[in-house]
Amino acid sequence: MKLTVLTENTASGHFLAEFGLSYFIEHDGLNILFDTGHSDVFLKNAEKLQLDISKADIVVLSHGHWDHGNGLKYLSGKRLLSHPGAFIRRFHRNERINIGLELNYEELSEKYELIHSKEPYHISDNVVFLGEIPRVNHFEAQSTDFVDENNNDDFVMDDSALVMLIEQELVIVSGCAHSGICNITKYAMEVTGIKEILAVIGGFHLQANNIQTKETIRYFKEHKVTNVMPSHCTQLPALAAFYNEFGINQLATGKVLYF
**Rounded mean pLDDT of the chain?**
96
Helix, strand, coil percentages (3-state) for the chain, rounded to 5, are 25, 25, 50
Phi and psi at residue 251, in whole multiples of 5°?
A: -75, 140
Half-sphere exposure of 186 (CA within 13 A, CB side): 16
Is the model's pLDDT at 67 over the cut of 90? yes
Assess contact for 173 and 23: CB atoms under 8 A. yes
Half-sphere exposure of 8 (CA within 13 A, CB side): 28
Give the pLDDT confidence of 14-62 residue by residue, as tens digits. Answer: 999 999 999 999 999 999 999 999 999 999 999 999 999 999 999 999 9
pTM, to two decimals: 0.96
**Confidence band for 226, pLDDT divided at 50, 70 and 90:** confident
Number of other residues whose CB lies within 10 A of the CB of residue 93: 11
Q: Give CA separation, 18 vs 42, 67, 130, in Å.
A: 9, 9, 26
Is the model's pLDDT at 242 over the cut of 90? yes
Q: How far is it, in rounded angstroms, from Cα 92 to Cα 245?
A: 32
* pLDDT at residue 85, rounded to an integer: 97
Q: How far is it, in rounded angstroms, from Cα 7 to Cα 34?
A: 10
Written as one letter, the residue type at 56 is: A
Is the model's pLDDT at 95 over the cut of 90? no
Residue 102 CA from chain centroid, whole number:
18
* pLDDT at residue 96, rounded to an integer: 86
Domains and CATH numbers, the chain: 2-258 (3.60.15.10)
Give the pLDDT confidence of 178-189 residue by residue, as tens digits. Answer: 999 999 999 999
Assess contact for 32 and 9: CB atoms under 8 A. no
Assess contact for 25 and 2: CB atoms under 8 A. yes
Give the pLDDT confidence of 102-124 residue by residue, as tens digits. Answer: 999 999 999 999 999 999 999 99
Residue 36 DSSP label: -
Residue 133 DSSP label: P
Is the model's pLDDT at 94 over the cut of 90? no
* pLDDT at residue 237, rounded to an integer: 95
Give the rounded percent of residues in the chain with a pLDDT score beyond 90.
Answer: 95
